[in-house]
Amino acid sequence: MKTIKGPGLFLAQFGGEAPPFNSWDSITKWAADCGYKGVQVPTWDAQLIDLDKAANSKDYCDEFKGVAAENGIEVTELSTHLQGQLVAVHPAYDDAFDGFAAPEVRGNPAARQAWAVDQVGKALEASKNMGIGAHATFSGALAWPYVYPWPQRPAGLVETAFDELAKRWRPLLDKAEHCGVDVCYEIHPGEDLHDGITFEMFLERVNNHSRCNMLYDPSHYVLQHLDYLANIDIYHERIKMFHVKDAELNPTGKQGVYSGYQPWVDRAGRFRSLGDGQVDFVSIFSKLSACGFDGWAVVEWECCLKHPEDGAREGADFVNAHIIRVTEKAFDDFADAGTDDAANRRMLGIQD
């Protein structure tokens, strides 16, 4: 058993033009003031981090971590969610995802994909330079437009998509091995890796690569009506990262999982601030602790109702209340009668 670290906060939803969200120094001070001990850093936000420098300069990384440490904050992980998304993009989403990329590669899918691979590779180098052993990302998606089997999918379509996805990610997983960093794919609708089965399809194609792992976020399982507790039992050896995010699914006579193209506030399935949704975090923290997960519990605030700063402050207290300081002894040790092998044999009726 292990004690989970935390609370941490993913900064992707908080970076902005106004202080204290527009610089690394001020946002880490703000996070500490909210009660956080660590932050997960979106590497696409140039106001917070210079990824090129982080990939090439340990001195820069030491200074970067030092600024955070002065404010009482650790760097939990780096994230390339947006860049990872661009490692594999179906043409139907070219325009929608183009804005994730650098201006000079927009409108050029091949150049955009090469840029994304380079970005993820730099983030792995930066993680190594910072002494961080896990990295958060998305897998991207080639097969997602065909997730529902109508019209009937041609034989081999999905297999070809996953073969190509594995081909694109295998060199990055090998680079991750060189850097000593686990690649943690957030299992997420919109990605080809969106549930346990699709993760296994990918894992098989990368030959069970030891650096191919999961970012566990129960909110995305609630919205799929997937058993998020059994998921821990099945995949705990591959779960290397944890987003603490709440959600609810309230189907009606008019809508269910797909939610009828409605905006977030009107959907049957929607994200909520911690404690306002349906996720059983008591059981999740218990299972992860018992399985030996010793990474960070990182709040990813997303809510269609509550103000983000309120959600962030409440989230730190919520995680603190759920982290279990695991015991180092059994509760009934006081009743230990003190036996030995001979006594054990007598108790079992075994004759010498």
In a domain, 352, yes or no: no
Closest by CA position to 272, among listed 214, 322, 222: 222
Give the CATH number for residue 180.
3.20.20.150
Q: CA-based angle 254:260:262, to the nearest 5?
A: 110
Whole-Å CA distances, 112 to 101, 105, 116, 125: 7, 5, 6, 20
Report the pLDDT value the prediction gives residue 330, as an integer from 0 to 100: 77
114/91 Cα distance (integer angstroms)? 16
Is the pTM here over 0.85, yes or no? yes
In a domain, 326, yes or no: yes
In a domain, 172, yes or no: yes
Report the pLDDT value the prediction gives residue 335, as an integer from 0 to 100: 63
Closest by CA position to 127, among listed 199, 66, 165, 175: 175
Kind and range of the H or E element at 38? strand 38-42
Whole-Å CA distances, 166 to 140, 141, 161, 170, 208: 11, 11, 9, 6, 11
Radius of gyration of the chain (CA): 22
Report the pLDDT value the prediction gives residue 66, as an integer from 0 to 100: 98
In a domain, 212, yes or no: yes
Q: What is the DSSP letter of 277?
A: S
Report the pLDDT value the prediction gives residue 96, as an integer from 0 to 100: 97
Instruction: Compute how many other C-beta atoms are within 10 angstroms of the C-beta atom of residue 326.
Output: 13
pLDDT (tens digit per residue) in 107-160: 999 999 999 999 999 999 999 999 999 999 999 999 999 999 999 999 999 999
Report the pLDDT value the prediction gives residue 251, as an integer from 0 to 100: 98
Structurally, the chain folds into a number of domains equal to 1
Residue with tokens 């797909």: 258
Report the pLDDT value the prediction gives residue 162, as an integer from 0 to 100: 98
CB-count burial class (<10 Å; 0-12, 13-18, 19+) for 255: middle
Q: Could you tell me the residue range of the domain that residue 140 belongs to? A: 5-347
Pairing mode, strands 246-249 and 269-272: antiparallel
In a domain, 256, yes or no: yes
Residue pLDDT tens, the chain, 352 long: 999 999 999 999 999 999 999 999 999 999 999 999 999 999 999 999 999 999 999 999 999 999 999 999 999 999 999 999 999 999 999 999 999 999 999 999 999 999 999 999 999 999 999 999 999 999 999 999 999 999 999 999 999 999 999 999 999 999 999 999 999 999 999 999 999 999 999 999 999 999 999 999 999 999 999 999 999 999 999 999 999 999 999 999 999 999 999 999 999 999 999 999 999 999 999 999 999 999 999 999 999 999 999 999 999 999 999 999 998 887 767 667 777 888 888 888 998 7
